[in-house]
Chain A
């Protein structure tokens, strides 16, 4: 098995819901807590497994805002695991999930240097490295309903931008999505072979403009006044 996520950049609205639900679930999960520093102070900071950034792609007027959620990609060539001197970081043979054994980690930060995707964050209060577990404490829990045996972020996403599944199974939902929508990996040139895939925005049908009526005189004057008069 090769478990991972597919993230649909076409529909992600950048609401940070996945990150918040991830934090809520995992802070009491196997690698919890996800410590917050100065949560009510001026510069609150803390450990997150998910980070969402926003980019502008293209130049005006042909530009688009892309919200970009990132978490551990559970890479096939996970250098973060190879460089770890203690053996705290490991990649599970059965499903490819990359985890950190909190009892073995010595907090040297070396794995975070080896990760190109910024997936690893040191918890300064426990002194150990923390990262996305792909909700390992959910996805195999048979007491949960079938639907709930998915990572917290996937269930939460209101836009359904996140999908979870087995990439080794060509008929799984994630494999099909990648096939049909041209799912791609980030920074392939570094050779980490990340499992997670991103779906690019769909090519949208251009909105026809021929039938848009000409501006009336009054609206042109209004427009001109609005531009000319400083408020």
Chain B
């Protein structure tokens, strides 16, 4: 698949934004994070800004954006419509939670009702992230996406990058980061394992072949002619090809920048180094790594239409 920048930015930014929000709500409800107005303001604004920037950029790839308002109508069958509905429902609930948090901090109390709203907003955030994953995961035409690992990775990577961001927010506001950094370590580790499982799983060649695509299953089939001299919509959209060396380099980037470096930096912080500089580097590195991960996610996806253009298998 052709990796579209707007969609890569959207999934990375809003994924981290939702992850950050969920961890903030969790931290408040379970009380493992020390909140003050600074943390609430910076964390809340940062998550909402990332989510909004992501959602806005996702509308950039629409060819006819004036009809974008119709995108909520097929909630019954379309994961794209579901994502839109959950994303829109999230906003008022999330704002209500942040407001409640602020009021509680002002009054210096813990309020069960605010916690309840936090749970509701987090569930909506999770539902949005899950829907984003399912947009890709539900496509039978792309064997590399059609797996439960796709939504799993979207959820885990959103939470992991959100966790790194939250550590940065806490360090920035001079709050203790030990618990959150440990939690992020755990999340990053789980996400890295899940991603490694995916890369292992995706190596196996399965699914339709040029033989089942044409129905000639008892002989070798080769493409003679595509019937067009220049590119078509189909070749623009689906014929994307990246050299194997680039793919390998990017996979290394995913694991080094996306997981290994943030893990090391957060490890230092858990061991006692208290510097927002470390958290910032961890955040930067994880965003580069996850950006590469998302780019690969598209570049390595091979749509079955490629069989008709001469590929022997997907």
Contacts and interface: CB of A to CB of B under 8 A. Distances in A.
Interface of A: 16, 19, 42-45, 47-48, 51-59, 62, 65-66, 68, 70, 79, 81-88, 103-110, 112-118, 121-122, 124, 126-128, 184-192, 198, 200
A115 B308 CA distance: 13
Given A83-B79, A186-B214, A187-B208, A16 B227 contact: yes
B216 to A, nearest CB: 5
Contact of B227 (A53, A103, A114): A53
Contacts of A79: 139-141
A189 B256 CA distance: 38
Given A43-B231, A112-B237, A82 B216 contact: no
Contacts of B212: 186-189
Given A45-B232, A58-B220, A68-B214, A118 B138 contact: no
A105 B1 CA distance: 22
Contact of B220 (A59, A107, A192): A59
Interface of B: 1, 61-68, 70-74, 77-81, 84, 135, 138-142, 207-208, 212-216, 219-234, 237-238, 303-305, 308-309
16 contacts: A45-B230, A56-B222, A59-B220, A66-B214, A81-B77, A85-B80, A85-B84, A86-B73, A106-B66, A106-B71, A108-B61, A109-B61, A118-B238, A121-B233, A191-B140, A200-B215
A43, A57, A104, A200 — most chain B CB neighbours (10 Å): A57
Contacts of A107: 62-65, 67
A140 B55 CA distance: 43
A127 B63 contact: yes
A56, A106, A117, A127 — most chain B CB neighbours (10 Å): A106
The 6 closest A-B pairs by CB, nearest first: A107-B63, A127-B64, A43-B230, A127-B63, A85-B81, A107-B64
Given A54-B224, A116-B304, A127-B63, A88 B208 contact: no
Given A55-B224, A83-B78, A121-B234, A106 B68 contact: yes
B175 to A, nearest CB: 41
B165 to A, nearest CB: 28
Nearest to A87: B73
Nearest to A115: B141
Nearest to A112: B237
Nearest to A43: B230
Given A45-B231, A122-B233, A58 B71 contact: no
A32 B21 CA distance: 46
Contacts of A103: 67
A14 to B, nearest CB: 8
B62 A108 contact: yes
Nearest to A47: B233
Contacts of A128: 63-64
A192 B227 CA distance: 25
Given A85-B73, A116-B304, A118-B305, A190 B140 contact: yes
